[in-house]
Structure 1
Amino acid sequence: MSEPEARRGAVSAARQTLFLMFCIGNERYALQATDVVEVLPRLPLKPIARTPSWVAGVFAWRGVVVPVIDLCALTFGQSAEARTSTRLVLVQYRPGAQQTGQVLGLILEQATDTLRCDPADFKPYGLDNRQAPYLGPVREDAQGMMQWVRVNDLLDESVRALLFPSPPLSPDDFEERA
């Protein structure tokens, strides 16, 4: 291999990013692995009353109560199937370029594989889908199209305020209401 070819290969490898792949129905999606905090098996959740149907509930993780959304229900209105490959994926949620994020749980089907590729391989798909701003560009390969899900765009402001109130509620807030 010549020196210029070796440099091109090194630059190409440097651009490679790891993605966690999953499915919604028969469609393939990916999350950037740097957004992922931990991948867990699907766990029992405490439902939250009067939330959108795609808010699956909350659970305690390392002393923190984590809200969980069902990405299948958010995207297409049907709950994720209970499969052995359905995972509870914890992600770092940082809306609007916040430096510190909060942990958000995502129920994802078939979240068992990863892909390393150049993020530039994902291309805009030509639609302005304002109802689903988290659905990013697409990448085509031998298995078909895969769409990038942008974690920081998952929640609109009203749901973000419900799941992550600012400032966070304290027990004193509930005593004042009584």
Structure 2
Amino acid sequence: MALPDSPSDAARRPRLFLLFCLGQDRYALEAAEVAEVLRLSPLKQLPGAPSWVAGVLAHGGALVPVVDLTARVGLGDGQRRTSTRLALVHYPCAGGAARLGLILEQATETLYAHPEDFQPYGMDNQGAPYLGPVLAHAQGLIQRVTVDALLPADVHALLFPDGAATS
């Protein structure tokens, strides 16, 4: 009879990551942060929101704000290709997690990796705290994106004014 895994054993297991591109570079989201991956759908624009807020999507009886992640990192509007996806992620809000949509280019692959294999790259990223450590991979460097740090406080308040969970 096998003994159950200890918490330290579970922490050492590789985790699944969703890979995507922003410009020419590759990035990863931990799959546990992703609720669903959808084809890109038409969005309702949100006048007054930052240019990188692509709009809002009606999905599953709720309105989900959507961020164009390519624009968020300052690379202009993301390209709409057949490989562009809308990832609905678990975003922390008062009272629980809300859904936040992320437009991701070339989001068609996954990768198993140990989280500790993502290493700091030596730059103070205060202007983009959502850009995390980097993994050296056979296909090039892959940078981890942290969902919790995607929205500055003012945009969080704009998109989730009552802080209510929507998931």
Supply the distance in 2 between the matched residues of 1:15 and 1:156 (Cα, whole angstroms).
32
Supply the distance in 2 between the matched residues of 1:25 and 1:59 (Cα, whole angstroms).
24
Runs of 4+ in 1 over 3 A off after TM superposition: 11-14
> 2:57 matched to which residue of 1?
59
Name the SS for the 1:76 alignment partner: coil
Q: CA deviation at 1:48?
A: 0.2
Supply the distance in 2 between the matched residues of 1:39 and 1:46 (Cα, whole angstroms).
19
Q: Which has the larger radius of gyration?
A: 1
Q: CA deviation at 1:26?
A: 1.2
Supply the distance in 2 between the matched residues of 1:131 and 1:66 (Cα, whole angstroms).
25
Deviations 1:67-96 (A, max 9, x none): 00000000024111010000010000016x
More helix as a share of residues = 1
> 1:32 matched to which residue of 2?
30
The 10-residue stretch of structure 1 (143-152 or 11-20) with the greater mean CA deviation from structure 2:
11-20
Deviations 1:35-91 (A, max 9, x none): 000000010000001110000000111110000000000002411101000001000
Supply the distance in 2 between the matched residues of 1:155 and 1:13 (Cα, whole angstroms).
27
- Structure 1 residue runs without a partner (length 5+): 1-10, 169-178
> 1:166 matched to which residue of 2?
162
**Alpha carbons 1:67, 1:105 under 8 Å: kept:** yes
Deviations 1:134-163 (A, max 9, x none): 000000011110000000000010000000
Supply the distance in 1 between the matched residues of 2:70 and 2:163 (Cα, whole angstroms).
29
Scaled by the length of structure 2, the TM-score of the pair is 0.89
Supply the distance in 1 between the matched residues of 2:72 and 2:127 (Cα, whole angstroms).
10
Deviations 1:86-110 (A, max 9, x none): 0010000016xx6611000000000
Scaled by the length of structure 1, the TM-score of the pair is 0.83
Q: CA RMSD in A?
A: 1.6
- 1:162–1:115: structure 2 CA closer, same or farther, 3 Å change rule? same
> 1:141 matched to which residue of 2?
137
Amino acid paired to 1:67: P
- 1:144–1:108: structure 2 CA closer, same or farther, 3 Å change rule? same
**Alpha carbons 1:12, 1:118 under 8 Å: kept:** no
Percent identity reads: 54
- 1:167–1:143: structure 2 CA closer, same or farther, 3 Å change rule? closer
